[in-house]
Structure 1
Amino acid sequence: MTSALDAVLARKSSSKVTYAAPTHEELLTLVAAAGRVADHSSLRPWRLIELRGDDRVRLAQAIAKAEGDKKPSSKPLRAPLLIAVVASFRKSSKVPRWEQEAVASGVAHMLSLLLDEAGWGVFWRTGSYTRSKAVAKAHGLEKNEVLLGWLYVGGKPPRSRPERRRAVDARHHVSPMPRPKRSKG
Structure 2
Amino acid sequence: MSALEAILRRTSWSKVTADAPTREQLLPLIEAAGRVADHSSLHPWRLIELRGDDRLALGAAIAETNGDSEPSAKPLRAELLIAVVVSYRASEKVPHWEQEASAAGVAHMLSLLLDEAGWGVIWRTGGYTRSEPVARVHGLGADERLLGWLYVGGKPEGRDPGRRKTVDADAVLSRMPGAAARG
| Range class of TM-score, shorter chain | over 0.9
The corresponding residue for 1:118 is: 117
Aligned residue pairs, count = 181
Q: Distance in 2 between matches of 1:86 and 1:19?
A: 24
State the secondary structure of the residue aligned to 1:86: strand
Please say if residues 59 and 74 of structure 2, whose CA atoms lie closer than 8 Å, have aligned partners that are also in contact. Answer: yes
Q: Distance in 1 between matches of 2:160 and 2:118?
A: 18
The corresponding residue for 1:56 is: 55
1:46-125 paired onto structure 2 within 5 Å: 46-125=45-124
Q: Distance in 1 between matches of 2:161 and 2:91?
A: 47
* Change over 3 Å in CA distance of 1:84–1:13 after alignment to 2: same
CA-atom RMSD, angstroms?
A: 1.5
Please say if residues 47 and 83 of structure 2, whose CA atoms lie closer than 8 Å, have aligned partners that are also in contact. Answer: yes
State the secondary structure of the residue aligned to 1:82: strand
TM-score by length of 1: 0.94
The letter for the 1-side match of 2:144 is: E
State the secondary structure of the residue aligned to 2:150: strand
Q: CA deviation at 1:62?
A: 0.5
Please say if residues 87 and 143 of structure 2, whose CA atoms lie closer than 8 Å, have aligned partners that are also in contact. Answer: yes
* Change over 3 Å in CA distance of 1:117–1:69 after alignment to 2: same
Please say if residues 11 and 161 of structure 2, whose CA atoms lie closer than 8 Å, have aligned partners that are also in contact. Answer: no
Q: CA deviation at 1:7?
A: 0.2
Please say if residues 14 and 161 of structure 2, whose CA atoms lie closer than 8 Å, have aligned partners that are also in contact. Answer: no
* Change over 3 Å in CA distance of 1:72–1:172 after alignment to 2: same
* Change over 3 Å in CA distance of 1:170–1:68 after alignment to 2: same
Please say if residues 13 and 161 of structure 2, whose CA atoms lie closer than 8 Å, have aligned partners that are also in contact. Answer: no
The corresponding residue for 1:155 is: 154
TM-score by length of 2: 0.96
Unaligned runs of 5+ in 2: none
Following TM superposition, the consecutive aligned residue runs of length 4 or more in structure 1 with deviations greater than 3 angstroms are: 160-164
State the secondary structure of the residue aligned to 1:153: strand
When Rg is computed on C-alpha atoms for both structures, the one with the higher figure is 1
The corresponding residue for 1:29 is: 28
The corresponding residue for 1:133 is: 132
State the secondary structure of the residue aligned to 2:147: strand
Matched, 1:39 2:43: no
The letter for the 2-side match of 1:85 is: V
Unaligned runs of 5+ in 1: none
Q: Distance in 2 between matches of 1:86 and 1:162?
A: 27
Q: Distance in 2 between matches of 1:133 and 1:107?
A: 24
Q: CA deviation at 1:176?
A: 1.1
Q: Distance in 1 between matches of 2:66 and 2:162?
A: 34
* Change over 3 Å in CA distance of 1:42–1:54 after alignment to 2: same
* Change over 3 Å in CA distance of 1:161–1:84 after alignment to 2: closer
